[in-house]
Amino acid sequence: MGKNITQKILESHLVSGTMAAGNEIAIKIDQTLTQDATGTMAYLQFEAMGVPRVKTKLSVSYVDHNTLQYGGFENADDHRFLQTVAAKHGIYFSRPGNGICHQVHLERFGVPGQTMLGSDSHTPTCGGLGMMAIGAGGLDVAVAMGGGAFNLTYPKVVLVNLKGKLKPWVSAKDVILELLRKMTVKGGVGKVIEYGGEAVQSLSVPERATITNMGAELGATTSIFPSDDITKEFLKAQNRKKDWQGLVADSDVKYDETIEINLSKLEPMIAKPHSPDAVCKVSDVEGMKVDQVCIGSCTNSSFRDLMIVADVFKKGKFKVNPNVSMTISPGSKQVLEMITLNKGLASLIEAGARILEATCGPCIGNGQSPPSKGVSLRTFNRNFEGRSGTKDGQVYLCSPEAAAAAAIYGVITDPRKLGKYPKVKMPKEFRVDDSMVILPAKDPSKVDILRGPNIKPLPVAIKVQGGVSGSTLIKLGDNITTDHITPAGTWLKYRSNVPKYSESVFSAIDAQFHEKAKAANGGFVIAGENYGQGSSREHAALCPMYLGIKGIVAKSFARIHKDNLVNFGILPLTFASLADYDAIDQGDKLEINDLASQLKAGDSLTIKNVAKGKEIKVKHGFSQRQVDIILAGGLLNFTKGQAA
């Protein structure tokens, strides 16, 4: 029997384990990626391992989240730390303004057939090149930089069979929105989404990258396209033809699941507040007043996307509606230069668009928060409640085409009403200027790592002794995101200051949570389905660990967050019977006795609800390696022990 793309890459990088669904395997990592919101902690963890130089083929540190160095010295100090730690330890450093990590990596560094681990959940963007690119917590990335393997549960592989061809005004964003409508935000958990079919040849690499980028919202391990002639042409245009290799699934391969999408039948789609899977047709919500339109983010900020929008406004044909604020965030310095050379930037400025820096910006709540109760159409990937910075903001996710139509008419409008569809051809040659990527120092001994006062010592979990007990500090519902746990926006400047950042934990739900947790000396969190979806930020595990959280008992977990909880010595447990969710109330004292013996005995644990005199069965689903990590007090302690 033949092999799919996923199997081929995993097999060629296999370090240990058996490639069968549900088994834990370890794979070698070729490249790593960090960004400034997660990188500071990742490099503090890397330093703690005592490895002098990274052992990957390539590691890149990007500054793209907090480039607005507002409200004090913290961001500027952290960026200085990132630059000097990169120089010393053999890491490439992409300066602020060079672009969003995923867009720049796609352009300049991604290699088909290689593996990459990134401390950002949208790392799968490079799956558009045929790369096995996986989002993870910063500690996993630090271990990979030190030469360690990455452990994951061997995934099921889902084929998304693409047929037909996109009609005018329908784009790649509509493809992934349709898949989210079909699969939901938890439908991809434990799976790799692999794209195939006749229609793949009609999609450029940036269009493929839009689709793989937002596969993170499915909860998938990663998403991947074949590496074919389209890929070769893209890399050739980036002056990187030498990095290309062909990689396609065998003709006789069988998949665990197949989903078919006929592109010819797709219409413009939109995700309603407050979830990426709340998807309907644009025509279903047409006419709703719009206050803001934001075009960009790592999902839709390529040359192709911005030139489509620029061509809509070309030669003053349309203007931005006076009741709408419209912003453009180019994905990279290269994109900004290319749309300038092609006169797209002038069209956007003339139309009344506001041009922002080549960064994440509004996508993670750094600037451009909509007005109270305002409707904001965004070409981004997430619309969780409050993520925009406005608690009651109504954020919709759509394509650049639909966003442009709304900006013109001031209401949600089917973009097919805009007339003739612009034709944007992929450049035969991109403008290549890597001057904002700083190479590592040739002599690391001459580099002093600069640390500002906001960089606090790395908190480390305590090794488990006996059992664990504590009060139920909070009880939550379904689809709690990492934004709920540790919000982004203005809080991000404390990413290297865990004592301060921990004050944000669950602050949007209970502003006094951190005080209650400290007063109670930690405890437990109870939650519903899909706990920890969204961003890969490990602070959503690290800060609760600092507050003394001992365990999260939920109906189910998002993949990256569950791994992060294990990495920081917090027990992620699932109810054996979902009905037992109702058997625990906030304030109940819980006990798990003789934890080590219970973990070693099998998948089942017993929690005693002291308040109600009831025993509750839960499952952990850990591998033996994860059991050892929990008992060691987290991955950092475990890794040090292994090295010793």
Q: Which residues are catalytic?
A: 64-65, 120, 382, 535, 537
**Structure tokens that stand for 592 in this block:** 């798990």
C-alpha span between 350 and 311 (Å, rounded): 12
The number of beta carbons lying within 10 Å of the beta carbon of residue 555 is 17
CB 131 within 8 A of CB 137: no
Q: Degrees (nearest 5) of the Cα angle 141, 147, 151?
A: 55
Instruction: State residue 383 phi and psi, 5-degree precision.
Output: -135, 35
Say if CB 493 and CB 66 are below 8 A apart: yes
Distance from C-alpha of 283 to C-alpha of 396, rounded to nearest angstrom: 14
Whether the Cβ atoms of residue 638 and residue 632 lie closer than 8 Å to each other: yes
Helix, strand, or coil here: 516?
helix
Tell me: cis bond preceding 539? Omega within 30 of 0 counts: no
Distance of CA 159 to the CA centre of its chain: 22
Cα 433 from Cα 230, distance rounded (Å): 23
Amino acid at 399: S
Task: Tell me the three state secondary structure of residue 118.
Answer: strand
Strand order in the sheet with 437-438: 132-135, 115-118, 31-35, 58-62, 92-94, 437-438
